[in-house]
Structure 1
Amino acid sequence: MGYHSILNNYCKNIYLIGSGNFWSDERETGDDKSILYRLYRTILFSTYAFVTILEIMAALFGEFPEDEASDSVTFAVSHTIVMIKIFSVVLNKELVRSMNQDMIKACEKYEEEAVVLETYRSVKINAISYFATVYGSAACFCFEGYRKMKAGSHFVTVVTFYPGFEDDSTSATMFRVFTTVVLFLMLMTMFLTVDSFTMAYLIMLKYKFITLRHYFERLRLEFDEINKSGNTRLAAEKLANGLVEGIVMHQELLKLGKNIDKAFGTVIAMQLCQSSGSAVSLLLQIALSDQLTFIASMKIIFFVLALFFLLGLFLCNAGEITYQASLLSDAIFYCGWHACPPLPPPHRNHQRLVRHACAQALRPPVMKAFKMIDLTYGTFLTVLRATYSVFALFYAQNK
């Protein structure tokens, strides 16, 4: 299970969910330019947009009881952000296509099976965990809607402008069930096309930097082995060639990091806003309401958990990229250049190569949201503290 398999499986599922073909070879995934597929994608995304507009209208103009009014605002804000994230990735489809090939080829020659398996395991565990929190929240919304129906009201998950609260007709019930199906489909599109895909790219880039560090460390071991045999000239030549190859791979990874920022930067930035903003509103619902049932509380808790779990995946993995890239400078510096005899032209100068490589490694990539907020562990902790502070402030004012 290599990087090719991870990305290929993602692209196949993204194609099936209607977001288009993100893989360079259409024979492996499918043709997203066919009339039938375009019709399928247009119907799907138009339905998402239609339901989202009804949610916004419900939040602005609808007359609902307190719990449904709160849900209407939550869904309107969240699903608007989800639509922005989906379209931001779809519009960068060609860039993602080229990134897939760049990610597969970067350091491919020197990948270790253990590191590749750890990459796959990390992507799988994080994706499954996030999937469980997202659909756990959606399931709680469905259970709460079913409880309301049993209590004499009507079944509802997504609160839309139509039907109104008092409308319990057959057509209204069918429309509420329809919006629930749309909710689950939209969540699947969000999960595959946007959130877990972005997360997978961040994790893979992190492990690519680990692979590159291991490459420089092996370079030192190979140099010592050849140097001990007495062939110092061959050892010096191999080290010089290895340094050049390592510098090229490092530049490829830095370019890949910039492209990830272009393709998925909007996703991470919007998630930063959604997690901090929506969480305050949701926590206040729990703190200030005296009539929440257990299931209603659980749906909010799952929602908040999903928001912060995803933000943590983004920020912590982005921060890990910076950390792993910062370790390269030591691995390069201790490659053995100091034990190399000077080589005559046209051979490369070891000291100059090491200076160049270390100078490049001393500026590890730092991914940013809105091109100004660093995506690091520290930012994640800051967002958590700021969210709690704002929640505590509003809670104190409303008590």
Structure 2
Amino acid sequence: MLENNLKEYHPQKYYLKIICHVLYCFGLGNFWYEKTKRNNIHKTTYVLWVIIANSFIFLMILNEFLAYIRKDLNIKEKGDLILFSFAHPSIVAKIMVFYIKRKEIKDTLQILLEGNKFCNLTTLEKSSMKRARYYCTSLLINIFVILVSATIEGIQNYLQEGVPIRTEVTYLPYRESSGITVNIFRFLVQFHWWYLMAIMYSIDSLSLCSLVILSYKFKEVRHHFNSCRIEMIKLSKSKQDSMDELFEENFIVGIKLHQDALRCARKIQMSLGKLYTVQVAESITMLVICLLKVTIAVRDIASLVKNFMFISCVILLNGTYMMSGGDVTHEASLISDSVFHCGWEYGRMSKGLRSLVVVTVQQSQVPIRMTAFGVLCLSYNSFITVLRLSYSFFAVMY
């Protein structure tokens, strides 16, 4: 019952809580800011699970890098090995960023979701999560198609060449090895990729949802100042004496909302800025490798579908980050106009309040930017820039 009420009246908190719970189950630790009572047995069991899960990730990636020693790999397997040896460490880099910044991420989520609630706009919250679900669902479908197409390609190779079904290229087990233990190990190798992609999806979903919620926080500020103007116009027609006091009260609420949004922007940049850097580097690297694979590797249907879905996944992931960050900048840039047209001219305000309006307009004109590498702004222009850089690098390599 409580969960249903949370989904209805605070959907942002509801969905982010689910993502944090998924990350907790994957063994990345607790990213949720609310304290949960757990007994000592649960804590000890979870510590063991964290050690096992993370050791499994790192040992399998080490097994992948050891595959460079093998001499029996064909061209397709060599291409997949190069692709995975760049892709999987970048996912591990995201995991490490999240682990190192886990306390900051907790604080950021608390400020983002439990900040100053001077006005309760459930409609805006639902709209923000609708947009976030659109991004996350598109990414989930793309990732699922990649995993399925890679599995189909593995089955096709098994039927045509007798190669054991595999999606990752590893040193162990050997191609000629057989037996129950070897088959279990082969299953763990296949499971490793699905597990790693699920973790990556959860991390990116949390990051994307945070950016979308932040953009709607600035939209909420703009909505508040616009409503101030509408209210002042109505009061000015009836010439009510309390309109000046009411405007001052509403305007101060708008300032507090704006300050809360600015604080959230700073916290998100501090806690997730490194993740944006990893994402941009991953996008450029993976796009170049995928394009090289398309031009060099064997061109059968399953392989082409997998490679093109890889490319679309990287572009989609990079695009969602860039567009979400660009929406933050765009929504923040519109606030200055809303402040200037908030209806201050309809009342007889004091000199101090007029000065406060001017200062607020000036502060709202300062651009808000989410950045990668500390210099590359997350924006629509940067999305095109990353694609151009990737293609230029590919052209030089090819």
Q: TM-score, normalised by structure 1?
A: 0.91
Write the distance in 2 (CA, Å) between the matches of 1:58 and 1:250.
53
Write the distance in 2 (CA, Å) between the matches of 1:188 and 1:153.
26
5+ residue gaps, structure 1, are: none
Residue aligning to 1:184: 194
Give % identity: 24
Deviation by residue 1:140-161 (Cα, 9 ceiling, x = unmatched): 1111111111122221111112
Write the distance in 2 (CA, Å) between the matches of 1:301 and 1:389.
18
Counterpart of 2:355 (choices 352, 357, 360) is: 352
Matches within 5 A, 1:22-101: 22-27=31-36, 34-59=43-68, 61-63=69-71, 64-101=73-110
Write the distance in 1 (CA, Å) between the matches of 2:38 and 2:362.
42
What SS is found at the alignment partner of 2:293?
A: helix
Write the distance in 2 (CA, Å) between the matches of 1:353 and 1:55.
61
1:328 aligns with 2:335: yes
Residue aligning to 1:213: 222
Q: Is the 8 A contact 2:19 2:205 kept in 1?
A: no
Residue aligning to 1:200: 209
Write the distance in 2 (CA, Å) between the matches of 1:36 and 1:162.
29
Q: Is the 8 A contact 1:115 1:207 kept in 2?
A: yes
Residue aligning to 2:4: none
CA shift for structure 1 position 181: 0.7
Write the distance in 2 (CA, Å) between the matches of 1:91 and 1:32.
25
Structure 2 counterpart of 1:278, one-letter code: M
* Aligned Cα root-mean-square deviation (Å): 2.1
Task: From the superposition, tell whether residues 31 and 368 of structure 1 become closer, same or farther in structure 2 (CA, over 3 Å).
Answer: farther
Residue aligning to 1:270: 278
CA shift for structure 1 position 172: 4.3
1:363 aligns with 2:371: no
Residue aligning to 1:157: 167
Q: Is the 8 A contact 1:23 1:29 kept in 2?
A: no
1:260 aligns with 2:263: no
CA shift for structure 1 position 31: 8.9
Aligned length: 386
Task: From the superposition, tell whether residues 33 and 22 of structure 1 become closer, same or farther in structure 2 (CA, over 3 Å).
Answer: farther
Task: From the superposition, tell whether residues 22 and 32 of structure 1 become closer, same or farther in structure 2 (CA, over 3 Å).
Answer: farther
CA shift for structure 1 position 173: 4.1
Q: Is the 8 A contact 2:369 2:377 kept in 1?
A: yes
Write the distance in 2 (CA, Å) between the matches of 1:259 and 1:159.
40
Deviation by residue 1:193-233 (Cα, 9 ceiling, x = unmatched): x111101111111111111110110111122222322224x
Task: From the superposition, tell whether residues 313 and 29 of structure 1 become closer, same or farther in structure 2 (CA, over 3 Å).
Answer: farther
CA shift for structure 1 position 320: 0.7
Task: From the superposition, tell whether residues 302 and 219 of structure 1 become closer, same or farther in structure 2 (CA, over 3 Å).
Answer: same
Task: From the superposition, tell whether residues 30 and 96 of structure 1 become closer, same or farther in structure 2 (CA, over 3 Å).
Answer: farther
Counterpart of 1:319 (choices 316, 321, 326) is: 326
CA shift for structure 1 position 251: 1.6
Residue aligning to 1:337: 344
Q: TM-score, normalised by structure 2?
A: 0.91
Q: Is the 8 A contact 1:328 1:361 kept in 2?
A: yes
